[in-house]
C-alpha cells in the first residue's frame, strides 16, 4: 500500500516536518495560542506564505502535533497495562516506561500537558479524543485481568480514566524534574518515581477491595 513518494512529495513532507519541529521547539516557552505563523516559518527558514501550503492556521498545526505526540502511543499503552508479572512489578515497569518516554520526548509531553486545557479549542478536543481512546484501551486490557472479574464495564472505565490521568500527572512531574538545575536532577526523578509508585500501589489496593 505504501508508495515511495516522488521527489516532490518527499520535499513537501520534509518542510512540513520542519515546521512541526520548529513549532514544538518554540512551544517550550509559550502556549499555542500565542504562537505566530511567521515565528515558525522564520525558525525554519522559509517564507511566511509557505506555511499555508501545509496548514490552514497555527491551530491546525497544533492538531497535527497532537497526532504526532499521542498517535503512536497506543500500542505502548496496551502492552504496558497488560503484560506479565505481579502488580508491584507492573507498576515499576509502567513508571519506568513513563520516565523514559518523558526523557526521550520532553517537548511532546510538555505540549500535551500545556494544551490539554489550553486556549485553542480544536487542539483541546483532539487531545481529549486521544485520551478517551487511551482510556478505552486501558479498560479493554483491565477487563482481561482476572482481578476484574465481576466488575461492570462502567466501573472498569472509571478506573481506566483514573489510571490515564495518573499517568499524565506523573509524566508532567517527570518533566518538571527534568528541567531546572542539572545538579540534583536524578534525585528529583527518583523522588517523583517513588511517590508515583506508591500512589499507583494505593489505587491498586483500592481496586482489589472494590467488590468487598
Partner DNA sequence: AATTCCAGAGAACAGTTGTTAACTGCATGG
Partner DNA sequence: CCATGCAGTTAACAACTGTTCTCTGGAATT
Residues that bind its own copies (CB under 8 A): 27, 29-34, 110, 113-114, 116-119, 155, 158-159, 161-162, 165, 169, 172, 195, 198-199, 201-210, 212
The nearest distance, CB 62 to DNA, in angstroms, is 12
As measured in angstroms, the least distance from the Cβ of 20 to DNA is 12
All three cell numbers of 112 = 500535551
Q: Residue 173 is placed in which grid cell?
A: 512531574
Nearer to DNA among residue 4 and residue 152 (C-beta): 4
Rounded to a whole number of angstroms, the minimum distance from the CB of residue 200 to its own copies is 10
- Exactly one of 21, 31, 43, 50 binds DNA (CB under 7 A); that residue is 50
Nearest residue (CB) to DNA, 57 versus 79: 57
At how many degrees (to 10) do helices 106-115 and 7-26 cross? 70
Intra-chain end-to-end CA distance of the chain, in Å: 52
Measuring CA to CA, how many Å separate 183 from each of 105, 178, 180, 187? 21, 11, 9, 9
The site partner of 188 among DNA, its own copies, none (C-beta below 5 to 8 Å per kind) is none
Distance CA 117, CA 1 (A): 37
How far apart (Å, rounded) are the C-alpha atoms in residues 101 and 69?
A: 11
Three state DSSP letters for 167-201: HHHHHHHHHHHHCCCCCCHHHHHHHHHHHHHHHHH
Q: Does 12 bind DNA (CB under 7 A)?
A: yes
Among its own copies, DNA, none, partner that 57 touches (CB below 5 to 8 angstroms by kind): DNA
Binding residues for DNA, per CB under 7 A?
Answer: 6-9, 11-12, 14-16, 36-39, 42, 45-50, 52-54, 57-58
Amino acid at each position: 500500500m505504501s508508495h515511495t513518494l516522488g521527489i516532490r512529495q518527499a520535499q513537501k513532507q520534509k518542510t512540513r516536518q520542519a515546521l512541526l519541529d520548529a513549532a514544538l521547539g518554540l512551544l517550550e516557552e509559550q502556549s499555542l495560542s500565542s504562537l505566530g505563523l511567521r515565528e515558525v516559518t522564520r525558525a525554519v527558514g522559509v517564507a511566511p506564505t509557505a506555511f499555508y501550503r501545509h496548514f490552514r492556521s497555527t491551530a491546525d498545526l497544533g492538531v497535527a502535533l497532537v497526532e504526532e505526540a499521542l498517535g503512536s502511543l497506543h500500542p505502548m499503552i496496551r502492552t504496558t497495562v497488560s503484560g506479565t508479572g505481579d502488580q508491584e512489578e507492573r507498576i515499576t515497569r509502567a513508571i519506568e516506561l513513563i520516565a523514559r518516554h518523558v526523557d526521550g520526548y520532553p517537548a511532546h509531553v510538555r505540549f500535551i500537558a500545556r494544551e490539554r486545557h489550553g486556549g485553542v479549542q480544536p487542539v483541546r478536543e483532539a487531545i481529549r479524543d486521544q485520551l478517551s481512546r487511551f482510556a478505552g484501551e486501558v479498560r479493554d486490557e483491565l477487563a482481561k485481568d482476572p482481578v476484574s472479574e465481576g466488575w461492570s464495564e462502567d466501573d472498569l472505565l472509571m478506573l481506566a480514566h483514573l489510571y490515564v490521568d495518573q499517568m499524565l500527572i506523573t509524566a508532567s512531574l517527570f518533566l518538571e524534574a527534568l528541567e531546572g538545575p542539572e545538579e540534583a536532577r536524578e534525585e528529583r526523578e527518583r523522588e517523583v518515581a517513588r511517590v508515583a509508585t506508591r500512589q499507583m500501589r494505593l489505587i491498586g489496593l483500592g481496586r482489589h477491595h472494590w467488590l468487598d
